[in-house]
Amino acid sequence: MTDPDTIRSIIGNVISFGLFLSPVPTFVKIWKQKAVEQFSPIPYLATLLNCMLWVFYGLPIVHPNSILVVTINSTGLILEGIYLTIFFLYSPCKLRIKVLMYLAAEIAFMAAVVAVVLTTAHTHDLRSLIVGILCVIFGTCMYASPLAVMKLVIQTRSVKYMPFTLSLAGFLNGVCWTTYALIRFDIFITIPNGLGALFGLIQLVLYAIYFRATPQDQPAGEVELPSKTLEV
């Protein structure tokens, strides 16, 4: 009989995959228009770094028996790389330079983390502790990124800026991974995903409150944030 823990983690992976796919409509739009307009690369850069950290965390040399953490975040790593490649191709020169600088900084940071952890921490517990703390910090930052959008929804009384599917996927992803982590009692997975579930729930509540007040001339999620909000 299949272990319930495994079933929950597989469901969490499926929902996480849906979350990673949620930016596809945005990049289809960028591809068709051949321009990034006022879209920001920051959320995708943040998610890329978050995925890199979780892949490292799930490796047997750091935290054994975490293959499902590795598989879903490896998938996310590939998808974020594709998104950033498309973004780079259709960005103006100045923005391309900024994206490259951020990518270089992230790669250098990850190289430093790997080198320090593998050379100074000689037990799985210590390695898991160091990398886990970093995962909590950057995972929380990734999940907290919609806060600016939530503020804008309240200010404008409109959900045009907050796609429902992204909010729902974020909530379900947080709930599934928090449940999985509580059963295994992995505090490093619990904290960021618990916050992700909370932020996702708040977004869904805001959506329910302001959906009827949103003008129907444009579908939700099709209007970009003001450039001031999305500057790199």
**pLDDT at position 225:** 37
Instruction: List the chain pLDDT tens, one digit each, 232 residues.
Output: 566 666 766 777 787 787 788 888 878 888 998 988 767 788 788 889 989 999 999 999 999 988 888 998 999 999 999 999 999 999 999 999 999 999 999 999 999 999 999 999 999 999 999 999 998 888 887 777 667 778 878 888 887 767 777 788 778 888 887 887 787 777 888 888 898 899 889 989 988 888 877 665 554 444 443 333 333 3
Q: Where are the alpha helices (DSSP H) in the chain?
A: 4-21, 24-33, 42-58, 67-89, 93-120, 124-144, 147-156, 164-184, 187-210, 227-230
CA distance 95 to 101: 10
Domain residue spans of the chain: 4-230
- For position 229, what pLDDT does the model report? 33
Is 81:139 a contact under the CB 8 Å cutoff? no
Q: What is the pLDDT of residue 231?
A: 37
Angle formed by the axes of helices 4-21 and 164-184, nearest 10°: 150
Contact 16, 181 (CB under 8 A): no
Q: Which residues contact 41 (CB under 8 A, 6 or more apart)?
A: 84, 87, 91, 95, 98, 99, 102, 232
Q: What pTM was estimated for this model as a whole?
A: 0.76
Measured between alpha carbons, how far apart are the two ends of the chain, in Å? 50
The answer to whether 198 and 174 are in contact (CB under 8 A) is: yes
Residue with token string 């780079």:
88
Residue type, 131: V
pLDDT, residue 216, reads 58
